[in-house]
Structure 1
Amino acid sequence: MSRDLSGEFRAWAGVARSLRIYRLDRAHAASLRRFLSPMVRPGDLAFDVGAHVGDRVAALRALGARVVAVEPQARLARVLRLLHGRDAGVEIVRAALGAAEGAAVLRVNRANPTVSTLSEGFVAGAAGAPGWEGQSWDAEETAPMTTLDALAARFGPPAFVKIDVEGHEAEVLAGLSAPPPLLSFEVVAAARAAGVAALERAQALGYGGFRLSLGESHAWETDWLDAAAMRDLVAGLPDAANSGDVYCRP
C-alpha cells in the first residue's frame, strides 16, 4: 500500500509540474497564441492529439477554434475535464490513437508525464541519450485506442491536426486517410527514426511542404522545405535541439 501511495504522489506531483510549466506561465501561453494565430481561423476544428494539460487547447480556443482534445493518460484526461469540461467548444476524448481501433498499453513516466509513450523504441532510444538522464518510465496504463479517421467521422473533418505522442506519430498517421489542410507532428532527437517515419507517412498522404519549429520556441527554424530537405533535418536533429514540431501543408 505504501508503494501505491508513493506512486500516486509521484504521479500527481508530475502533473503539477506540467501545469506549472505549461498552464501557469503566461508568457508561454501568449507566445503560443501568437505563433498559432496565422494558422488557425475562428470556427476551425482542431484535433489536439496528445493534449497533455491542454496548453494547445487553451491557445486554440483563445483563437476561436473548436477543439477535440485527445489524451490517453487518465490523470491528464481528468485535468482536461476540470479545465475545459464546461466549454462547449472542447470535446475531451480519453484515448490513444493508432492505425486501428482496439486497446493500447502506455508506458507512463509518472514524474514527467509529458513524455509517456506507446513506443517501446522511444523508451529504448531515450535510455542514456543526452538530455534524458534520470527519466524513468515506471508505470503502465491501458487506454482505448481509436483512429484519426474515426474521430473525423464522429466530430467532423479537422482543419488542423497536432500530434505529439513521443515516437508514435507515424502509427497515428496510419489511421488517417483524408489529410487536413494543416498538420503538425513532433520529432525527438532521441527517436529520429520515428520522426523520419512520420515524415514519410505525411508525404504519402499528399503533403509536400514542411516547416520546422524547435522545442517550445514558438518560432520557425526553417522556411517551407520539400520532403527530402526536411528528412535530412529530422535525421540529423542535434541532441541539443531535444525536440521540435514539423508542420505540413499539401
Structure 2
Amino acid sequence: MKRGLLDRVGLDAATLGLWRSIAIYNGQPWRRWALDRFLRTLVRPGDLAFDIGAHVGSRSRALARAGARVVAFEPQPLFADYLARRLDPATIRLDRRAVGRAPGRAELAVSARHPTVSTLSGEWRGRVAGDEGFRGVEWGERVSVEVSTLDILIAEHGEPAFCKIDVEGHEAEVLAGLSRPLRCLAFEYTPATLDLAFRCLDRLGELGRYEFNLAVGEEARFRLDRWLGDEAFRARLALEAARNRRSGDVYARLVGPRA
C-alpha cells in the first residue's frame, strides 16, 4: 500500500502491519483450534510456560487455554502495547524485555510493514535480506530495548515446563543465557540460516540429552512420527529445510542428563 493511500485512510505502516498480524494469527479460528489441540500435548494445567517473542499473543493465549500460567515476552513497543490491552493478566503476564546472552540494552531492528521479522540479530538480518522469502522486507526503524537472560527470568518467574523461542535469528543468543536444561522447549529455524538452528542444537547438547521433532510453517502438528536423537535429527532437519524452503519450529524434550 502506498504512502499516500495510507495517509488518506489514516493508517501508518506500523499499524497496518499490526492489523495484518492480528488477521493472520488471531483471525482464523481453525488455526486457533489446531494450535489449542497441539499445545495441550506439551503442557499440563498449572504448568508455567514462557512465550519469548509473543508477537500478537496467539501462542500465549493457546497455552493459557491449555491451563498453563504464561509469561509473554515482547519488547516491540507496538505489539507490547497491544498485548497489554488484550491479554488476561490473571493467566498471562506481559514482560516487555527482550531475552539474550547477557543483561543490558540492545537495538531492535523493526520492520513496520512486516513486524513478525523484527530482530535483534544484525547477522540474521543481513543474511536473509537477499532470500526470496524476505523480498520487500525493510528494517527501517531502530528501538532500544532492555535485555534479560533466561537464567534471570527463571529466577524471577520460576522454571518453565515449556519455553517457546521465536526471535528471528536470535534464538541461539537466547539459549546462550541459559545454564540449565529445560524440560521442553521450541525454537524457530529458517532455511536460509539453518546453521543458526544447529547452534541452538549445540547449546542444548551442552545442557542435557534431548530428542527432537519439528513443525513446518504454521502447522500445529509434528512433521515426524517419532522423536529423533541429535545426529539423526540434524540430517532430517536439513532435508526438510531443503525440500520445503519454509521456516518452522524445532521442538526439544529432555530425556536425561548430558552424556
User: Is TM-score (shorter-chain normalized) higher than 0.5?
Assistant: yes
User: C-alpha displacement at 1:165, in angstroms?
Assistant: 0.6
User: C-alpha displacement at 1:239, in angstroms?
Assistant: 6.8
In the TM superposition, 1:81-160 aligns within 5 A as: 81-84=84-87, 86-160=88-162
- 1:43 is matched with 46
- Is the partner of 1:35 in helix, strand or coil? helix
Q: In structure 2, do the counterparts of structure 1 residues 9 and 91 end up closer, same or farther at CA, with 3 Å as the change threshold?
A: same
8 A contact 1:193–1:235 mirrored in 2:
no
Q: Distance in 2 between matches of 1:137 and 1:215?
A: 22
Mean CA deviation greater in 124-133 or 183-192: 124-133
Paired residue total: 246
Q: Distance in 1 between matches of 2:193 and 2:115?
A: 17
The one-letter amino acid paired with 1:241 is R
Q: Distance in 2 between matches of 1:134 and 1:196?
A: 27
- 1:31 is matched with 34
Q: Distance in 1 between matches of 2:209 and 2:66?
A: 25
The one-letter amino acid paired with 1:64 is G
Q: Distance in 2 between matches of 1:240 and 1:159?
A: 30
Mean CA deviation greater in 110-119 or 231-240: 231-240
- Determine which of 224, 232, 244 is the counterpart of 2:227: 224
- 2:171 is matched with 169
1:246 has 2:254 as partner? no
- 1:194 is matched with 196
- Is the partner of 2:209 in helix, strand or coil? coil
Q: Distance in 2 between matches of 1:104 and 1:235?
A: 31
User: C-alpha displacement at 1:142, in angstroms?
Assistant: 1.0
Q: Distance in 2 between matches of 1:90 and 1:173?
A: 22
- Is the partner of 1:238 in helix, strand or coil? helix
Q: Distance in 1 between matches of 2:45 and 2:126?
A: 41
- Is the partner of 2:134 in helix, strand or coil? coil
8 A contact 1:195–1:234 mirrored in 2:
no
- 2:209 is matched with 207
8 A contact 1:98–1:173 mirrored in 2:
yes
- Determine which of 201, 215, 236 is the counterpart of 1:233: 236
- Determine which of 5, 15, 19 is the counterpart of 1:16: 19
- Is the partner of 1:204 in helix, strand or coil? helix
User: C-alpha displacement at 1:58, in angstroms?
Assistant: 0.7
The one-letter amino acid paired with 2:204 is A
8 A contact 1:187–1:234 mirrored in 2:
no
Q: Distance in 2 between matches of 1:75 and 1:95?
A: 13
Identity %: 44
- Is the partner of 2:213 in helix, strand or coil? strand
- 2:74 is matched with 71
Q: For structure 1, list consecutive stretches of 5 or more residues without a partner in the other structure.
A: none
User: C-alpha displacement at 1:178, in angstroms?
Assistant: 2.1
User: C-alpha displacement at 1:145, in angstroms?
Assistant: 0.2
> What's the CA shift string for 1:95-150, capped at 9, x where partnerless?
11111100011111111111111111211221221222111111111110001111
Q: Distance in 2 between matches of 1:173 and 1:87?
A: 27
User: C-alpha displacement at 1:47, in angstroms?
Assistant: 0.3
> What's the CA shift string for 1:28-65, capped at 9, x where partnerless?
11110011111110000000000000000110111110
Q: Distance in 1 between matches of 2:118 and 2:242?
A: 22
Q: Distance in 1 between matches of 2:99 and 2:149?
A: 5
Q: Distance in 2 between matches of 1:81 and 1:226?
A: 39
